[in-house]
Amino acid sequence: MATLSDIGVAAAINILTAFAFFFAFAILRIQPVNDRVYFPKWYIKGLRSSPFGTGAFVGKLVNLDFRSYVRFLNWMPAALHMPEPELIDHAGLDSAVYLRIYLIGLKIFVPIAILAFTILVPVNWTNTTLERSNLTYSDLDKLSISNIPTRSHRFWTHLVMAYAFTFWTCYVLKKEYEIVAKMRLHFLASEKRRPDQFTVLVRNVPPDADESVSELVEHFFLVNHPNDYLTYQVVYNANQLSNLVNEKKKMKNWLDYYQIKYSRNKSRKPSLKTGFLGLLGTRVDAVDHYTSEIERLSRKISLERDDIVNNPKSIMPAAFVSFKTRWGAAVCAQTQQSRNPTMWLTEWAPEPRDVYWDNLAIPFVSLTLRRLVIAVAFFFLTFFFMVPIAFVQSLANIEGIEKALPFLKPIIEMKVIKSFIQGFLPGIALKIFLIFLPSILMLMSKFEGFISLSGLERRSAARYYIFQFINVFLGIIITGTAFQQLDNFIHQSATEFGPSEVIPKTIGVSIPMKATFFITYVMVDGWAGVAGEILRLKPLIIYHLKIFFLVKTEKDKDEAMDPGTLGFNTGEPQIQLYFLLGLVYAVVSPILLPFIIVFFALAFVVYRHQIINVYNQEYESAAAFWPDVHGRIIVAVIVSQLLLMGLLSTKEAAQSTPLLITLPVLTIWFHLFCKGRYEPAFVRYPLQEAMMKDTLERAREPNLNLKSFLQNAYIHPVFKGEDDSDSDEAPEEFEKEPDLVPTKRQSRRNTPLPSKHGSAASSQPEAQDYPLL
């Protein structure tokens, strides 16, 4: 039982940790040598080409202006400074909308916290249940619902509050959905011409004995969309080729490494062994070896490339079909083409950057089978992930190691090492698993056959959320893992509870008891985690390693940058966990709310800074993830209501049950309403909009040659750099063709513009201002 002062101490420690991170960041970020680590976004946008601080050589590495060390938090107002429309222009709609999730957190929980502290806390505090009981209790518990005696009429307050909180949450959600939908539509409407507006992805082109896939596609769309069909681009199976290209890139890195090594120490030519892991085999000259390897791969690549283009078997039964008008594409994407609904499947093409090429040719039957396999696998992953880990743990104890490797016994028996192993080993399997979990989930999504990166990330996020919900939230609340509980439920035939109520009741009882734990969790995982994010320790180290070993030119320096992305698949489920905690504890133990509010505020500032200065999104889905975000907050609301029902039933406040049952029903109805009203804006493209843009464009540019614009938009990335000796530069040139792929990266490198982001003025027409609060 933690007291208020315990919590205070923990909070102080965590606040100090956070400040330490911030201070470290403040020092590191103003060192010119780290400039590319902490401001990569500006380099990518071409608005910054060299660190500030000119002068001596030392001045290029270390910041000597000591005044800048004093204002070590001044990045915070700077991060909040950029207005939202400019942010959309600078970093894309996805990022801007992602930040709104944190804002929603504040919008929901600040009023709820105020209400809870003015009404609920006094109601809880002015009881003496805990004082009169024999239980040990803390001041914290006196603030929670535990302090109310059973069958008290004071539970009506909690009931009314539950209604108030639900209505407020729903109100904020609805407002936000409306704003985001409007932002998305405005974004789509004001966008420049992009190939994906005119293009539809066709999958499962049926096999035909007489015609090739290309002919088939051409004929089918000429017949069935005679007015609008323009051109098509078949999809090649270039996975093999892209493997080769990647291998060549790796070889090139090694070549660079050895060349630099040689140039630094001309006395000794670097050499290596060609066998297993460089340990066996004959010793050869490293530079020569990699040069010849690269040549060999180049030949192989050009052979493979010819083979793909000429061999009809490498053409997949899928194609990107482009239309003369946005209207035509919208029609084709939203309708069924052929009798057999599994043939000629059409959907909007993702933007070229967003395509996940490997999955483009999975047949329909295999898709449903894959979905089944993954559903089952995910079920086992979620509920039984502890089994293999427990198994590894049981192997990895000291006795086990001693038995398996008896010669290690004397070393292990040393006290320092023994205690280290005992403290470290049991956790390590779990830790490794949790670190790899997002990658595992991403692999699952890839196996399932999504064809866009955004789709992959959305699905992974959903799975990660479910995993966290079951194993972190429920797992902690019902002490011990959900897996053990399930086992109990199945085998214990005589519990003291009725049937369908057991789970809510059990959880209901233990919720208030876990408040202190979750407060600590929020501080460690939330506060310190967010503060650690801004430090970018891993990219910092890797960048400097690369600079030291690989970099020869300024261009190489730019390539050594790893701006990273927002990581929707890991970040969003984490936020959602805080929504869940906040909503569940709002009525039960309002003391948790301030901690969550601090998290949301801190995270908002930090991520806004990162989005402005660091992250470089790989794709732009125009906030397509919003329905997921909305849906998961609704789930959190409903879970909080169900748990409150369970809690109140243990407090024998049964008369409130019918009123509480009404709440989830209303919430579900609200969700359905929102789904009908706003979701279509995220999945469909209205014909009216398409027609409007088409008409406008026709009036403005009557002589536009759309075909040349669309011809090569959807070519597999490995084909873009035709001359593979410079395979990295070629796509760049490709994208520089006038208006071809007007991504944000258009004028990417070496543009001599000054740095300050004030000058990154919005080039977007009629940038609208949406209410921030």
Q: Is 342 a binder of a second copy (CB under 8 A)? A: yes
CA nearest neighbour of 745 among 558, 540, 490, 493: 558
SS3 category, 24: helix
Footprint on residues 185-214 left by a second copy (CB under 8 A): 185
**Stretch touching a second copy by CB under 8 A, among 1-9, 34-42, 512-520, 688-696:** 688-696
Of 223 and 435, the one with the shorter C-beta distance to a second copy is 223
Question: Least distance to a second copy from the beta carbon of 744, Å?
Answer: 25
8 A C-beta contact, residue 614 and residue 757: no
Of 138 and 338, the one with the shorter C-beta distance to a second copy is 338
Of 415 and 491, the one with the shorter C-beta distance to a second copy is 491
Q: Is 484 a binder of a second copy (CB under 8 A)? A: no
**Residue 559: both structure tokens together:** 């390539």
Question: Least distance to a second copy from the beta carbon of 489, Å?
Answer: 6
SS3 category, 236: strand
Of 56 and 372, the one with the shorter C-beta distance to a second copy is 372
8 A C-beta contact, residue 643 and residue 510: no
Q: Hey, what amino acid is at 470?
A: I
Q: Would you list the DSSP string of 590-629?
A: TTHHHHHHHHHHHHHHHHHHHHHHT---S---SSTTHHHH
Question: Least distance to a second copy from the beta carbon of 665, Å?
Answer: 7
**Residue 515: both structure tokens together:** 């408040």
Of 144 and 667, the one with the shorter C-beta distance to a second copy is 667
Q: Who contacts 2 (Cβ-Cβ below 8 Å, separation ≥6)?
A: 10, 138, 140, 516
Kindly tell me which residue out of 126, 133, 212, 227 binds a second copy, with binding defined by CB under 8 A: 227
Kindly tell me which residue out of 135, 669, 707, 728 binds a second copy, with binding defined by CB under 8 A: 669
Q: Would you give the end-to-end CA distance of the chain in angstroms?
A: 38
Task: Give the Cα separation of 381 and 376 in Å (integer).
Answer: 9
Q: Is 655 a binder of a second copy (CB under 8 A)? A: no
8 A C-beta contact, residue 641 and residue 663: yes
Centroid of chain to Cα 330:
28
Question: Least distance to a second copy from the beta carbon of 1, Å?
Answer: 28
Question: Least distance to a second copy from the beta carbon of 368, Å?
Answer: 5
Q: Is 490 a binder of a second copy (CB under 8 A)? A: yes
Residues in the interface with a second copy (CB under 8 A) total 56
**Residue 60: both structure tokens together:** 């290029």
Question: Least distance to a second copy from the beta carbon of 688, Å?
Answer: 5
The most distant pair of C-alpha atoms in the chain lies apart, rounded to whole Å, by 89
H, E, C per residue of 695-717:
HHHHHHCCCCCHHHHHHCCCCCH
Kindly tell me which residue out of 402, 525, 558, 689 binds a second copy, with binding defined by CB under 8 A: 689
Q: Is 678 a binder of a second copy (CB under 8 A)? A: yes
Footprint on residues 501-560 left by a second copy (CB under 8 A): 501-503
Footprint on residues 270-329 left by a second copy (CB under 8 A): 327
Question: Least distance to a second copy from the beta carbon of 685, Å?
Answer: 7
Question: Least distance to a second copy from the beta carbon of 673, Å?
Answer: 5
Strand order in the sheet with 345-348: 229-236, 315-323, 199-203, 345-348
Q: Is 335 a binder of a second copy (CB under 8 A)? A: yes
CA distances from 320 to 231, 620, 713, 721 (A): 9, 19, 9, 20
Q: Is 699 a binder of a second copy (CB under 8 A)? A: no
**Stretch touching a second copy by CB under 8 A, among 97-105, 256-264, 436-444, 683-691:** 683-691
Task: Give the Cα separation of 140 and 311 in Å (integer).
Answer: 72
Footprint on residues 343-382 left by a second copy (CB under 8 A): 344, 364-365, 368, 371-372, 376
Q: Is 658 a binder of a second copy (CB under 8 A)? A: no
Question: Least distance to a second copy from the beta carbon of 494, Å?
Answer: 6
Q: Is 334 a binder of a second copy (CB under 8 A)? A: yes
Question: Least distance to a second copy from the beta carbon of 733, Å?
Answer: 38
**Stretch touching a second copy by CB under 8 A, among 254-262, 339-347, 470-478, 758-766:** 339-347
Residue 763, burial from CB neighbour count under 10 angstroms (0-12, 13-18, 19+): exposed
Kindly tell me which residue out of 525, 679, 697, 732 binds a second copy, with binding defined by CB under 8 A: 679
Q: Is 339 a binder of a second copy (CB under 8 A)? A: yes
Q: Which residues pair with 320 in a beta bridge?
A: 201, 233
- Phi, psi of 29, rounded to the nearest 5 degrees: -70, -30
8 A C-beta contact, residue 697 and residue 329: no
Residues that bind a second copy (CB under 8 A): 185, 220, 223-225, 227, 327, 330-331, 334-339, 341-342, 344, 364-365, 368, 371-372, 376, 489-503, 665, 669, 672-673, 676-681, 684-689, 691
